[in-house]
Structure 1
């Protein structure tokens, strides 16, 4: 789960991380009022969408407009906000379709002496969080890693102890901070780590972290992603979620208890089990196809869930064939077959449907599908299923 920059900064401030003063607003007039309340000579108006690269992004309606702009007066703030709100911002992370801007952050300007990069992720190899730092802030970390890997520093974090004092001193030295910067880092860095651990983050990125004129570290930007698996521990996340920034089909699937991720292919996949889903997509790719989604109905899907899964798959206009690949372990293949038949009869299918069943009562399940009289293409194994669905998709595309 992602949150907006203004929400991330509010959360970081609760932990003692220094952030610029600012207000998120949803109208041009409110942007002007926010500028007045900040009582500063300069401010920045920043489009709020779940994507990075906003400063380099352009608007569909006005390519000369950028997603982050400096303003010098309430009138300028109102004009710039008005040019952003309700418009579609395209960045390197949104894809060509872009995202509509529904709110902007009006934030006090600051004196920037240096720009740094700070980020926290979970390192699967180490089995613990790691703090990533670089003196080359304001640039995509992937670019720095490709050009100057020696400029990136990694500091493993003990999840029970947090960031220790000696680690702060070591990072401060590597980043070239002076005495004032090291003093600020002694508060700033441990606070970032506490937020990451307490809030079950999967990503916390401050790019850039700036060193101001007096040597203080300041989070000029903020990106936070949460681990969805920890949502039960954080009921407050519900209030932070912006459904306008999420894929509608993924929101719909989540409400039905399904795991769904939209992709850019044309073969819909309905599978039970994440590992089986990944294998299914791999084999589709191996045989020349391209998956349109990852959809895991789980081990105990009922007729309602299977029907909703089909609705979600068929709502994607790119889908030209569907592969159902089910292993009946906890659930019998006869139950799965009955659910498939009921869903098919309820919805009707306008694209080819390939079904591969395996597991408990598989023979009886296959017999149910065969006797149903429905236009279902049966597959004997996973390779056979992948070949048949790719062939069916290619035939449908050329028809």
Structure 2
């Protein structure tokens, strides 16, 4: 589950990580009140206005602005709140529809009073699944896309792996500070920063914490100026406070709806809709679609109770996608009987009515033969398949005629 910058920073603060002070707001009036409060606390009219969306590169799309006085703050707040912000990471990139900004962060100017003396670093913590170790990725090229840095100057991207049995050790934190070229007070503050950041990563069951930029200011302080924070959704039962931070407006509406039905759904960009029970079978089905010349339009696992109601809801979600040219239903009848699934498909088809795309149904397992007979005798525009190869051949044939 992804968090907004201000939410991630609130978690970091609980673990003692130095952060850029700021206040979130979702109206112009509230934001101006927060600006006045911040200006009084910092004794400075300077503030940074930041759009809060689940995407990086906000500055490139005009979602991060420095205000030098109250008038500029109001102008930036008014312009950013409600805008359709386009960044390289929003759907469709800079040419796409972007995301609507419903909340902003009014933050201090952490670079004052000496901007030229400040340095920016990149620091992130995540799991390296291949090595089965947490890794601290860091670079002196902060404030930039780490992917571009890794491609153009890979020697400037360092990785410090953490032994899972020993945990973060002093030499690990010092290695990060050494690689960033720090010394003296800044070196000590960076090691403390890494310790606290790693504690937040473990304590919140994070999947990723990315601080870009990590600021080294004129006083040799190390501060989290930005924060990309993602939490392992499987661990949210241990963090009810974090679970309450979920912003469903930032998520795909169909995926959120599917979760309410107990379905596992992920939108993709292909032309063949999938309806499967079991994640492994779903991956195999997506492979079959690609081998048949198509592209998966979604990942959809209906689980072990593929009854008529659930099948109908799954159908309706898939059919909302105008790019879908065919639907492949691939169900293994173990817990659920194939004949019940077949009846669910038939009932759902009749309830929805006027389904224009061809539907291919492959049912294997308990009562599979009975299920095939039911599909074949239904009189509906539904084609049955027995093997995965059969399903692939039918998909290929319907795509050619689509």
Query: TM-score band, normalised by the shorter chain?
Result: over 0.9
Q: 1:164, 1:11 → 2: CA distance?
A: 22
Runs of 5+ consecutive residues of structure 2 not aligned to the other structure: none
* Residue equivalent to 2:304: 299
Matches within 5 A, 1:24-173: 24-39=24-39, 40-57=44-61, 66-94=62-90, 95=92, 96-111=96-111, 112=115, 113-159=118-164, 161-173=166-178
Question: Does 2:212 correspond to 1:207?
Answer: yes
Q: 1:317 to 1:327 in 2, by over 3 A?
A: same
* Residue equivalent to 2:318: 313
Structure 1 counterpart of 2:380, from 374, 380, 393: 374
Q: 2:293, 2:241 → 1: CA distance?
A: 44
Q: 1:233 to 1:159 in 2, by over 3 A?
A: farther
How many residues were matched structurally? 388
* Residue equivalent to 2:11: 11
Q: Cα RMSD (Å) of the superposition?
A: 1.6
Question: Does 2:359 correspond to 1:363?
Answer: no
Aligned residue for 1:322, secondary structure, equals strand
Native 8 Å contact 2:122 2:213 kept in 1: yes
Structure 1 residue 160: Cα displacement: 6.0
Structure 1 residue 54: Cα displacement: 0.5
Q: 1:139 to 1:69 in 2, by over 3 A?
A: same
Question: Does 2:347 correspond to 1:351?
Answer: no
Deviation per residue, 1:138-195 (Å, 9 max, x gap)? 1111111111222222122245654211111121111111211122123211111111
* Residue equivalent to 1:329: 334
Q: 1:217, 1:75 → 2: CA distance?
A: 30
Q: 1:210, 1:153 → 2: CA distance?
A: 17
Structure 2 counterpart of 1:239, from 244, 247, 253: 244
Native 8 Å contact 2:277 2:331 kept in 1: yes
Q: 1:67 to 1:115 in 2, by over 3 A?
A: same
Structure 2 counterpart of 1:270, from 255, 271, 275: 275
Runs of 5+ consecutive residues of structure 1 not aligned to the other structure: 58-65
Query: TM-score, structure 2 length as denominator?
Result: 0.92
Structure 1 residue 23: Cα displacement: 0.8
Query: TM-score, structure 1 length as denominator?
Result: 0.93
